[in-house]
Structure 1
Amino acid sequence: MSVAESLLLRRAAMAWLDQRPSERVDFGWLSSFEYGGQRIPLMDRQRGIRKPAGMDAALAIRTTFTPPGQVPPYADSVGPDGLQRYKYRGSDPNHPENVALRRAFSSKLPIMWFVGVASGSFEPIYPVWVVGDAPQELEFTLALDHAQRHFGDAGAADPDYRMYMERLTKVRLHQRVFRTQVMLAYESRCAVCNLGHSQLLDAAHIIADGHPDGEPVVPNGLAMCKIHHAAFDSKILGIRPDTLTLHIRQDILDEVDGPMLRHGLQDMHDRPLMKLPRSRSARPDLARLQTRYGEFLSA
């Protein structure tokens, strides 16, 4: 298949993904993609790098879901330039899967990335480009945004530009995956009031993004409706870590206003969280809650 033909297939696959019936996808649905009257699964069940028969370059990559508290099999990370890294398959740079991904790099072909967010469930990230290859580190460099594709050595020396690149990586990958995993853990319900409309819910950080302990992992997250997320971030609402009860700042309790203040905030005071993950490993990290509660008390 020529590069031009491969590009057309990729565009068709991404357009098909745009029409997916739900935000997350699974192996069965990804196996149903058809192009030119032929079924072309977008994911391999066993391989992390997908290269369909008849193609020279990789079409998609996959990252397996790792439950909270467990160590992932491949240590993908953000590099010092703010760009995402993706580890080789094994330790041989010339493994066929690594060669296939390298061909996507040399041909400047976009790929799809399916990031595991639960067992058998994936968040699709696309288009993604391979923009670097480091055999000595056994990893590829990925661009998750058009702006990152043109990040060169000159930009790498600029700390502001590096920070911009890292912010793009967080928005395009880490925060999307974080939100999806938090919503799954809390079954798309607000931890404070149990509101169940996902469009009105956020994945709130306990420790803020950018802090050393502010990783985008489920134990550092809470599903919150937008009003309670804003109250949490504004130190109007706090969560006592030893009892997991809600506390509203005293000046807000003393205020007289309309029904939103009364029922949405004041009535929440001294109540327990209404929703927690079923899995204990996904529940809020108590040390992080203690730090955040200390900030609330000092407000």
Structure 2
Amino acid sequence: MTEPDGFRRAAMQWLEKRPDSRVDYSWVSSFEYEGSRIPLMDRQRGIRKPAGFEAALAIRTTFTAAGKLPPYVDAIGDDGLQRYKYRGDDPQHPENIALRNAMKMGLPIIWFVGVAPGSYEPIFPVWVVGDDPEALQFALAVDEGQRFLRPDFGLDEDTRRWAEGRTKQRLHQRVFRSQVLLAYNGRCAICKIRHAELLDAAHIVADGRPNGHPVVPNGLSLCKIHHAAFDHQLLGIRPDLTIHIRQDVLEEVDGWMLKGGIQGVHDTRLAILPRNRLEHPDEHRLEERYVEFLAAPVA
């Protein structure tokens, strides 16, 4: 069948109502439209084009475990736009043609990004806005505002920085949060609270720094209070995973939250760690951040 009018909009509205932020193949393959079941993801292929459709509907990036190399190297380009590698090295492969057709027709697609074995964070809508056969990759807009940027035209520095910031926020940080919270079993590493809406994925070394990659060993699952205390240098974490509260904060007299939630964790060890030791906080990154904590001026 040819692609029905309104199909993509219906598929994305259905995804918006998903019971969990992450999905698996079984769930996304249950989508139905006008009585027909049309899986949104292909079990084997990275690029999904339902039979009869002219353009790709979705792309997929498989999960890469800590310490492993990803099968495809998708990265942000010099223009701030995300890249997605071709299927193989033939620009005329049917799946590459399907993605190219989505670009020519201006159709939005869904990107399923692996955050754990068999578990994906759906990013949508995404648009294909550039095609580079020499580098065997497409350029993607992961934000509505990026749709009309073209990688084959020079972008001024302000636009490039804005585009890169949006890519990191809409894609990299969302995936980073999912991976970190999954690694820590959805709990704060310090106080063990487990409400996802109260949890953040905190960078140990800040994003944009040489070691500030959005990977689990550079992350900590922290509740919003402990994340803020960590970011504002009220709380430091030593390379041996023990917690250090700044001296003036230890001496402060205030309510029960400060006493129990901040002062009370001084010299204790992180309460939650990932089961996989390769996902534990990186010792060298912790040391780099702890040196900054010790040197930070007291407000």
Smaller-chain TM-score range? over 0.9
CA contact (8 A) 2:130 2:152 kept: no
2:296 corresponds to 1:295: no
Q: Superposed, which structure 2 residues align to 1:200-211 within 5 Å?
A: 200-211=198-209
Please identify runs of 4+ aligned residues in structure 1 that moved more than 2 A: 152-157
Taking the aligned partners of 2:129 and 2:4, their CA distance within structure 1 comes to 18
- What corresponds to 2:234 in structure 1? 236
1:150 is paired with a residue of what secondary structure? coil
Deviation at 1:7, TM superposition (A): 5.0
Deviation at 1:155, TM superposition (A): 7.4
CA contact (8 A) 1:40 1:52 kept: yes
- What corresponds to 1:10 in structure 2? 8
Q: Report the TM-score, using the length of structure 1 for normalisation.
A: 0.96
Deviation at 1:188, TM superposition (A): 0.9
CA contact (8 A) 2:130 2:151 kept: no
Deviation at 1:137, TM superposition (A): 0.5
Q: Which moved more, 1:155-164 or 1:62-71?
A: 155-164
Q: Say how many residue pairs are matched.
A: 296
Kindly report the root-mean-square deviation, in angstroms, between the aligned alpha carbons of the 2 structures. 1.3
2:223 corresponds to 1:225: yes
Of 119, 130, 134, 2:128 maps to 130
Taking the aligned partners of 2:64 and 2:5, their CA distance within structure 1 comes to 32
- What corresponds to 1:89 in structure 2? 87
Deviation at 1:263, TM superposition (A): 0.4
- What corresponds to 2:96 in structure 1? 98
Instruction: Describe the shift of the 1:246–1:108 C-alpha distance in structure 2 as closer, same or farther (beyond 3 A).
Output: same
2:258 corresponds to 1:261: yes
Greater helix proportion? 1
Q: Which letter does structure 1 place at the counterpart of 2:8?
A: R
CA contact (8 A) 1:130 1:143 kept: yes
Contiguous gaps of at least 5 residues in structure 2: none
Taking the aligned partners of 1:153 and 1:54, their CA distance within structure 2 comes to 30
Of 103, 110, 115, 1:117 maps to 115
Contiguous gaps of at least 5 residues in structure 1: none
Q: Which letter does structure 2 place at the counterpart of 1:53?
A: A
Q: Report the TM-score, using the length of structure 2 for normalisation.
A: 0.96
Taking the aligned partners of 1:6 and 1:161, their CA distance within structure 2 comes to 36
2:173 corresponds to 1:175: yes
Deviation at 1:31, TM superposition (A): 0.6
- What corresponds to 2:183 in structure 1? 185
Taking every aligned residue pair, what percent have the same amino acid on both sides?
65
